[in-house]
Structure 1
Amino acid sequence: MFFLGLFPQLALKILTVALLIILMTYLIRKSIKLFFDKTSILDEKREETLMHFANQVTKVLGLVFFFIYVLSHFFDLTKFVTGSAVMAGALALIFQHIIRDYIMGLTYLFERQIHHGDYVIINGNREGKIEEISMRHMKIRQYDGYLYTVSHSNITELQNGNRGMRRVNESLVLNYRQNPDDAFKVIEEVAQTCNEKYEEYLLKDENGVPVENFIFNQITELNVDFRGHRYSISGLVKETDFAVASKKVRYELAIAAYKNDLMMAQSEGLEANKDCNPQVSL
């Protein structure tokens, strides 16, 4: 009966502390937002990134304080942690990974390596737009629509495309039987066409001169997957126009290959099937 009498009081205390933590979290977030709204110290992307990070920090700290308060009513936390070597070792292993995530997250934040909304390539095989940056992980929306989440400590390589410029690099893989001289003439014309039609997308210096025009890089890779050789075009464009410019260059390459009957690379199986089953004209 004694414990039943104490339970309503304990529940009321816990509820009061929970409401106070929620209120403090709200006020801290509101204060940060008002500070950014009233000042122009940082750019918009930087402010948005800090707001996302602050929201995550306040949420985690609020939960930590709440659980510590609740557990303190049932356990002597000091004796509980220090009295169990096994528990202490397990917590050390768990928090080692978590702390490493936090440290890496703070490093990315304060070194300004990434911002909310940036287009990034992670570990060379995941690319997309940053939708969320938390204390422990980053979420990017890939082109296929999937949301990819990676903890900061698992990021070994990070490429950021949002630095005001991007390099378009599009290519054709032509059959090894294709005469390179003929391919050179066609793709050089494609580069000239891109410079004439899509000059507006090129990154320009203070005098309005393109920093790097669309250029034909000739053969950039031999014997790609044992099918043919790669011929590429590249150009330095404004970051905001990267997606559109890439599509335009790809189109020009495709239409040029079609009009000039360039021999596209294909698998050996398809070529063998074509040789064994020639089409018969009626």
Structure 2
Amino acid sequence: MFVSKLIRSMVIIIIACILLKIIQFLLKNLFKITKFDERYEDTLCSVLCSVSYYIMFCLSVILILREFEIVDATAFGSIVTGASIVGIVAGVASQSILKDIFNGFFILFEKQIHVGDFIVINEEFKGNVEEVGIRSVSLRDWDLKRITIPNGNINSIRNYSKDVMRVIVHVRVSYEEDPMKVLESLQEVCNIMNEKYKDYLVKLRPSSYLGFKVYGITDIEKISIGAKYTITGVVTSEKYFAILREAKLQVLIVFKKNNIKIGYPTNINILSNEDNINEEL
């Protein structure tokens, strides 16, 4: 008797797994024919797959409990007993689970993240969003490690994939260099970037300047290093990191061509006359 119940329970689990795979397959193919944004489609598919998983899990548990006569839909006492057990378990876990679900709902409703976005969570975890669920978010970091964060633990999100971003490049230059020569060299860098990435440059307003420009000198307080110069440019988010790396590379190339020295920390030692006399002796 027990063996037959165990076999039927295993059959329930197998059928649930098969149905789950079928549902996930249908969802993925359904979103292929829709006309939503690709990242939005991937996010919806990820959420619906997560919801279907929890639904199949709950149904499987109920059917298995019914097989072992722990829960019986025809007996009121069994329902009450089963409900009591569920209530006890839910009472222990509900606080964190509900927090995860509610926080996840607002993240999805406000479209804070999509599958494929590069984000930083809580100023600690960063990577590409691989899966968005009703209880957690999964990232794939630079080392290809998968990081899963419960939605209830998410306090802040920095999204690097929201349409447009501003590339900001700071460079420290020695005070010995001619400021006008440095500004001209940085303008040369901007011209190169504007020509090379003109298809990815955007402007925030119709009247705003399109592309990279020299922002100017932004700091002269660190005397031991040099003056800080800044260039900026507004670009589409998908090319942000590639353009940022290229801009830094072009700064080094142009500075080397124009014989401009990058600033670096220096120490000046002043010797008194007595020290000089002692050294000569």
Would the TM-score normalized by the shorter structure come out above 0.5? yes
Check conservation: 1:120, 1:160, Cα contact below 8 A.
Answer: yes
CA distance in 2, matches of 1:229, 1:51: 50
Q: Alpha-carbon deviation of 1:171?
A: 1.7
What is the aligned residue count?
A: 262
Q: Alpha-carbon deviation of 1:263?
A: 3.8
Q: Alpha-carbon deviation of 1:214?
A: 0.4
Q: Secondary structure at the match of 1:231?
A: strand
Aligned to 1:238: 236
CA distance in 2, matches of 1:187, 1:16: 69
Q: CA offsets, 1:197-223, max 9 Å, x none?
A: 443432369x9x996320122234564
Check conservation: 1:166, 1:236, Cα contact below 8 A.
Answer: yes
Q: Which of the residues 16, 36, 41 maps onto 1:47?
A: 41
Q: Give the unaligned 5+ runs of structure 1.
A: 1-5, 277-282
Q: Alpha-carbon deviation of 1:56?
A: 2.0
Letter in 2 for 1:15: M
Q: Secondary structure at the match of 1:172?
A: strand
Q: Alpha-carbon deviation of 1:18?
A: 1.9
Residue 147 and residue 176 in structure 1: after superposition, are their counterparts in 2 closer, same or farther (change >3 A)? farther
Q: Alpha-carbon deviation of 1:52?
A: 1.8
Aligned to 1:151: 150
Letter in 1 for 2:3: P
Check conservation: 2:215, 2:231, Cα contact below 8 A.
Answer: yes
**Equivalent runs, 1:1-282 vs 2, <5 Å:** 6-37=1-32, 39-71=33-65, 73=68, 75=70, 78-79=80-81, 82=84, 88=88, 91-174=90-173, 180=179, 183-203=182-202, 212-221=210-219, 223=221, 227-258=225-256, 259-266=258-265, 271-272=266-267
Aligned sequence identity (%): 23
Residue 17 and residue 149 in structure 1: after superposition, are their counterparts in 2 closer, same or farther (change >3 A)? closer
Residue 211 and residue 44 in structure 1: after superposition, are their counterparts in 2 closer, same or farther (change >3 A)? farther
CA distance in 2, matches of 1:110, 1:26: 26
Residue 210 and residue 198 in structure 1: after superposition, are their counterparts in 2 closer, same or farther (change >3 A)? farther
Check conservation: 1:203, 1:211, Cα contact below 8 A.
Answer: no
Check conservation: 2:225, 2:263, Cα contact below 8 A.
Answer: no
Check conservation: 1:202, 1:210, Cα contact below 8 A.
Answer: no
Letter in 2 for 1:134: G
CA distance in 1, matches of 2:152, 2:95: 11
Aligned to 2:75: none
Residue 231 and residue 48 in structure 1: after superposition, are their counterparts in 2 closer, same or farther (change >3 A)? same
Check conservation: 1:119, 1:161, Cα contact below 8 A.
Answer: yes
CA distance in 2, matches of 1:25, 1:144: 30
Residue 274 and residue 168 in structure 1: after superposition, are their counterparts in 2 closer, same or farther (change >3 A)? farther
Q: Alpha-carbon deviation of 1:125?
A: 4.2
Q: Give the unaligned 5+ runs of structure 2.
A: 71-77, 272-281
Check conservation: 1:186, 1:260, Cα contact below 8 A.
Answer: no
Aligned to 1:279: none
Q: Alpha-carbon deviation of 1:257?
A: 3.4
CA distance in 2, matches of 1:132, 1:225: 47
Letter in 1 for 2:23: I
Check conservation: 1:176, 1:265, Cα contact below 8 A.
Answer: no
Aligned to 1:280: none
